[in-house]
Amino acid sequence: MSISAPQPLPQSTDSAARTGGTVTNRLVEANRRYAAEFQDPGMDARPVLRVAVVACMDARLDLHEALGLELGDCHTIRNAGGVVTDDVIRSLTISQRALGTRSVVLIHHTGCGLLNLTEDFRHELEAEVGQRPSWAVEAFKDLDTDVRQSMQRVRTSPFLLHTDDVRGFVFDVTTGLLREVAPRE
């Protein structure tokens, strides 16, 4: 099985393609409607709550709704798995040192796609395209263990000023509830 095999499109996307539109065209049109009513909120880039949230990119996670956040409340950093990578540390460093955040919330979730991947994904990708990815998959088998590892990466980064308020959670995609993960002792 090729790792780049196309996946079936959701019904709404499929109908857009049949009518000659693309998903991107639909998004651009939605932006035009949004901009027609848009009023500058007069904020700067510093989050009101002085918090950065690191979470998975999974489309089922509506972080603002799930956490009761409003526009301007937080910095949101998302990637596959919500894993604390070098790039996440880069973003958190800028968030803290240049934009005043003090707290970090890490959110993984049930049913994550990284639970089923391995580093074989990289090898298959290399075989398919002829070039080895420079990045690690960062797959994991246990949510709590990976949340703890992510908390540890944040707490031990020499670049971050504020590592005393770092908490990790698992979001249950079927109930919408967060479950806190205790840090390593």
**Type of residue found at 44:** D
Q: Is pLDDT of 7 > 80? A: no
- What pTM, to 2 d.p., does this model score? 0.86
CA separation for the pair 110, 171 (Å, rounded): 6
What is the pLDDT at residue 11?
Answer: 56
Q: Is pLDDT of 6 > 60? A: no
Q: Which residue has the higher pLDDT, 18 or 91?
A: 91
CA separation for the pair 81, 111 (Å, rounded): 10
Per residue in 47-67, pLDDT (tens digit) is 999 999 999 999 999 999 999
Strand extents, DSSP E, 6-122? 51-56, 74-79, 103-109
Name the burial class of residue 67, with classes exposed (0-12), middle (13-18) and buried (19+) by CB atoms within 10 angstroms of its CB: buried
Please choose, from the candidates 19, 74, 18, 29, the residue with its C-alpha nearest in 3D space to the C-alpha of residue 48: 74
Q: Is pLDDT of 141 > 60? A: yes
Q: Is pLDDT of 145 > 90? A: yes
Please choose, from the candidates 43, 47, 79, 37, the residue with its C-alpha nearest in 3D space to the C-alpha of residue 61: 79
**From the CA atom positions of the chain, what is the Rg in Å?**
19
